[in-house]
Amino acid sequence: MAEDPPCGGAGRWPDSLRLMTAPLFPGRARRSVAALGAVSAGLLLLSACDKPTPLATVTVGSSSVSAESDCRGDGKELSMDRVQECLTGLKNAKTVEYGRGDTLRLGVEPAVVEDGKKWQAVLDGQPITEPSSNTYRSFQGADVFATGGQGEAPASKMLGLVQVGEDGKPLAVWSFKLKLK
C-alpha cells in the first residue's frame, strides 16, 4: 500500500519524492555559503558609506545656512592653489543675505577643532580672523561690504571657513556666499 504524504495524515513521503527534493548541498555547506554571502553583502554596504563630514554654519539675523566642506584633504594638507580655488571658484556655495550692520555668526561642529585643529574665517580670500579652537564666532554690526571709500560695494562676497592643522596648514574649506541686501 502506498504511503500517504504528511498532509494526508499518516506516514511520510515516498523515497522517490524525497530524493527529488533533497538539497543540492548538505546543511552545513548551505549555512556556510549563506553566512559568507551575508558577510560579503554587509562589507559592500559598509564600504559604500562615507563618514559624514562636519558642517559649518553661517547665520545672519534669523537666516542660517549650513554646508559640508567643499574641499577637503581627508587628513592631508590642501595645496594653496586648491585652497584659493575653493575660496573663490565655487559656483554652488550656499548663499545668505547680509545687510549692513547685521550680526554675522559663524559656527563649526566640534569635530572641526578636535586634535589641536583650528579654523579661520576668510572673506574674499583675505583672513578676517585668527585661527580659533572655539566652535562659534559672532561679529555684531560688522560691515563686511565696506569699501573704505573705494567705490560701490560688490553685490556679493565669498566667505570661507578654513580648517587648519596644528602646523597651520589648511585641511578643509567650507564656502558660503554673502549677498548684500
Report whether pLDDT(43) > 80.
no
> How far is Cα 96 from Cα 65, in angstroms, rounded to an integer?
7
Angle value at C-alpha 173, between 128 and 75, nearest 5 degrees: 125
Report whether pLDDT(152) > 90.
no
Report whether pLDDT(133) > 70.
yes
What is the reported pLDDT for 77? 95
Mean pLDDT of 61-84: 91
Is the distance from CB of 23 to CB of 31 less than 8 angstroms? no
What is the reported pLDDT for 153? 84
Model confidence at 15, in pLDDT bands (50, 70, 90)?
low
Nearest C-alpha neighbor of 107 from the set 140, 133, 136: 136
The model's pTM is: 0.70
Mean pLDDT of 94-114: 95
Q: Beta strands 71-72 and 126-127: pairing type?
A: unpaired
Is the distance from CB of 70 to CB of 91 less than 8 angstroms? no
What is the reported pLDDT for 69? 92
Residue 95 CB contacts under 8 Å (≥ 6 apart), including other chains: 65, 156, 176, 177, 178, 179
Report whether pLDDT(119) > 90.
yes
What is the reported pLDDT for 162? 96
- What the block records as the C-alpha cell of 157 is 562676497
What is the reported pLDDT for 150? 78
Report whether pLDDT(91) > 80.
no
